[in-house]
Structure 1
Amino acid sequence: MFKSLQRLAQTSVIALGLGLALSAQAEPTKVTYLLPAPPNSPAFAPWIIAKEKGYYRARDLDMTFIAAKGGVDVAKQIGAGNAMLGGAIGDTPIVVRANGIPVRAVAVLGAGGVTMIATNAGENIQTIKDLKGKTLTVMSYSDTTYYALLASLRKAGLSKDDVDIQAAGPSGVWQLFSASKAQAMAGVPDWVVNAEDAGLKYALIPREQVFESMAQAILASDDAIEHHPEVVRGVVKATLRGLQDIIDDPKAAAASFARAVPAYAGKEASLEKTLRLYVEYVYAGQPVLGRIDPARLDTVRKFYVSEGIVPREPKLDELYSNQFIETSTAAK
């Protein structure tokens, strides 16, 4: 009788141990993902929609988004080991690699540049050169959109001393612009729509005059790429699936985003307008979704160095990796 009870107890312990082991295996990997601004911005719709629709969870990832202070800060935090991954403009590795920070882009979300230069339509500003003597807003002096603005000014023969650039934060960047306290703004499409919704009539500086910087990118540390490739791959593929949803149906994507961020409930029409700007100016025209074009990155790299924006030319192959973008169906 005692032996039977002993065997039963042993069996129960083994079963409990197996159950705990299986439960542990079922737990998703926790991933902290840094974003250059608060995650409730439509600029981050591919990530928010991917989480809302369970694309990360389907790859056994438990994503937590945390806001940093601009794209360069994202890269610095990743390089310091405070997170494996984060988001910034694809130019960012050029800026930080020159300072020895070991991060690179592993996907870029679109073939266009994410930085737009919007002007108050009443100011009749037609060109970059017309910005001389004007006040412009940017999110911060450490965000890559700021560097794209500097490059655009230099391309037109101007320097930052020819204009008054004010770092106003992710809300102030468009609020000062819409309140006519600045004649122009360098930022992402959602801030342009925010200014329009606030009653401002705006005009966009023609795309060919704006420095051909890159779209938003997924950044990863060298350590994460080497030692946690499946986490990086899962984040890339899930995010690209969210991106594809936006390209396929901006209206439905706006509804998904509003469900994930309740503050946007009832604002789906404005969200759709923002997402369509992204699709038209940023996301479209990429032959393989997410793939980084080395030739374009090289052009951006050389310009940053030649104009003194970075002190030295980092090696091209240290700036990116396409190893997580295998085929044209990478987002599927």
Structure 2
Amino acid sequence: MKKLNRSAACLGSAALVVSLVNACSPADSAKSESSGPKKVTIQIDGAAVPYYAPLYAAKEQGYFAKEGLDVNFTYAQGSDIVKNVAAGNIDFGFPNGDSVITAYGQGIKTKVVHTTYQQGIGALLSSADAKIESPADLKGRTVAVTDLGSPNYIQLQAMLKSANLTTNDLKVRTLGTGVIVDALKNGQVDAIVFSRLRYYALKSAGVDVKQLLSDSYLPSFGNVVVASEDTVNDDPDTVKGFDKALNQGIEYTIKNPDAAVKMSVEKYAPSFKGQEADITTVINDLFAKSLWQSDTTKKDGLGAPDVARWQKAIDSQTDFKLLDSSYKADDLVVKPNDLG
């Protein structure tokens, strides 16, 4: 397989966030036109990548339009997205669930209205030569994370705790997102805790890599849709319409992965041109099987939350001192059937 692009650069600099906020003020973003569809904006974590195909498909296939919505996409860092949604600067956000949990506990409150990724996307990745088969094998090793305040660092601690180890039993290095994967490839570290999507990129690059999924040790969530408390309370129909269209986008992508990826690359993420086959494999093997669908979605529909699992994720952040105190998952997560 061709090498996957590893440079989905984040567009979340302070200057850009300001410009995005100004461009998506409530006066423009959530304004309903009597003569046409309601204009809404969703701010997405990172940059335009083909893995966001369900959102793009919901627009291109007309699912949003059928719900009376004209949806605009912008991009920023997850923590900035949550702040923008909470402040009412944008209508919807699509950040990592871990950042939503942390922000809510710190008083930056949004509502999760669609649990899009039913699992977290963190993983401990290691070269096969390192022979790391379980967290117990991390003793005395060198492991990299991007930041000591990141969810990945908490995931590492949870893995170690399962083996009665702590970070004192190994060497932890902090490396930027642009170099952490190369550090593993070049043998500078024994393992990294990072996105499980990189497992496929490393395999594609010919690296013999193994992975331990963080979710097995610490429940978490990847990208989820959030809205402000005011939007949920005052405009539930828009939230329900957005969720319905997104679900149709997910269903379309699952049934038509080749077409969905091709469209996403051509119209939204042209830097991935030539990698469509590899990306489609990831969509089929990971997103369709584990991230978008779960036992919960089989019972309650796409985007439905496992509230007990959300509670475990919240409590875990408290245990590892990301939050001063826990709170009820029901205060954060909205069940689709409870909307309006």
Q: Deviations over 1:19-59 (max 9, x none)?
A: xxxx952333332222221122x442322332333322333
Do 2:218 and 2:316's aligned partners in 1 also have CA atoms closer than 8 Å?
no
Moved more, 140-149 or 317-326: 140-149
Q: Give, in whole Å, the separation in 1 of the partners of 2:337 and 2:189.
A: 41
Gapped runs of 5+ residues in structure 2? 1-31
Gap runs ≥5 in structure 1: 1-22, 327-332
Distance 1:165 1:212 in 2: 24
Distance apart, 1:269 and its partner CA: 1.1
The answer to whether the 8 A contact 1:110-1:289 is kept is no
Shift in Å, 1:155: 4.2
User: 1:95, 1:55 → 2: CA distance?
Assistant: 32
Q: Is the 8 A contact 1:137 1:185 kept in 2?
A: yes
1:132-151 paired onto structure 2 within 5 Å? 132=139, 133-138=141-146, 144-145=151-152, 147-151=154-158
Q: CA deviation at 1:253?
A: 3.0
- Number of paired residues? 300
* Aligned residue in 2 for 1:329: none
Displacement after TM superposition at 1:309 (Å):
2.6
Pair 1:129-2:142 in alignment: no
Distance 1:72 1:152 in 2: 25
1:308 to 317, 321, 325: 321
Distance 1:245 1:236 in 2: 14
Give the 3 Å change call, closer, same or farther, for CA 265–33 of structure 1 in structure 2.
same
Aligned equivalent of 1:232, options 239, 245, 261: 239
SS of the counterpart of 1:25?
coil
Aligned-partner SS, 1:312: coil
Structure 1-normalised TM-score?
0.78
Cα offsets for 1:75-116 (capped at 9, x unmatched)? 223223332211123343331121111112111124333223
Are 1:265 and 2:273 matched, yes or no?
A: yes
Pair 1:252–1:157, CA change in 2 (3 A): farther
Matched, 1:205 2:218: no
Measured in 2, the distance between the counterparts of 1:310 and 1:175 equals 32
Tell me the percent identity: 24
Deviations 1:239-273 (A, max 9, x none): 22222223334334333323332333332211112
1:168 aligns with 2:176: yes
Supply the distance in 2 between the matched residues of 1:307 and 1:292 (Cα, whole angstroms). 23
**Secondary structure at the counterpart of residue 102 of structure 1:** coil
- Shift in Å, 1:159: 4.4
1:33-48 superposed matches below 5 A = 33-40=42-49, 42-48=50-56
Runs of 4 or more above 6 Å deviation: none
Q: Is the contact between residue 311 and residue 328 of structure 2 (CA under 8 Å) also seen in structure 1?
A: no
Q: Aligned with 1:26: secondary structure?
A: coil
Distance in 2 (alpha carbons) for counterparts of 1:142 and 1:208: 18
Contact 1:148 1:213 in 2 (8 A): no
Specify which of 307, 312, 335 is matched with residue 299 of structure 1. 312
Please, which of 112, 119, 144 is the counterpart of residue 112 of structure 1? 119
- CA distance in 2 between counterparts of 1:167 and 1:239 reads 35
Aligned residue identity for 1:61: L
Cα 1:145/1:60, change in 2 over 3 Å: farther
Q: Name the CA distance, whole Å, in 2 between partners of 1:83 and 1:142.
A: 26
**Displacement, 1:219?**
1.2
Where does residue 32 of structure 1 map in the other structure?
41
Looking at structure 1, the residues matched to 172 and 85 of structure 2 have their Cα atoms a distance apart, in angstroms, of 31
User: Whose radius of gyration is greater, 1 or 2?
Assistant: 1
Q: Tell me by how many angstroms 1:291 deviates.
A: 0.5
Structure 2: distance between partners of 1:249 and 1:142: 38
Letter in 2 for 1:314: Y
Task: Determine if contact 2:43/2:94 at 8 Å carries over to the other structure.
Answer: yes
The question of 1:322 aligning with 2:335 is answered yes
Q: 1:289 maps to what in 2? A: 302
Match of 1:18 in 2: none
Secondary structure (helix, strand or coil) at the match of 1:310 reads coil
CA contact (8 A) 1:29 1:62 kept: yes
1:72–1:143 Cα contact (<8 Å) kept: no
Give the alignment partner of residue 65 of structure 2, picking from 57, 73, 87: 57
Provide the C-alpha distance between the structure 1 equivalents of 2:34 and 2:85, rounded to a whole number of angstroms: 27
Q: CA deviation at 1:163?
A: 4.1
Going from structure 1 to structure 2, the CA distance change for 1:229 and 1:144 (only over 3 Å counts) comes to: farther
Query: What is the alpha-carbon distance in structure 2 between the residues aligned to residue 272 and residue 226 of structure 1?
Result: 38
RMSD: 2.9
* Secondary structure of 1:245's aligned partner: helix
Distance 2:53 2:40 in 1: 18
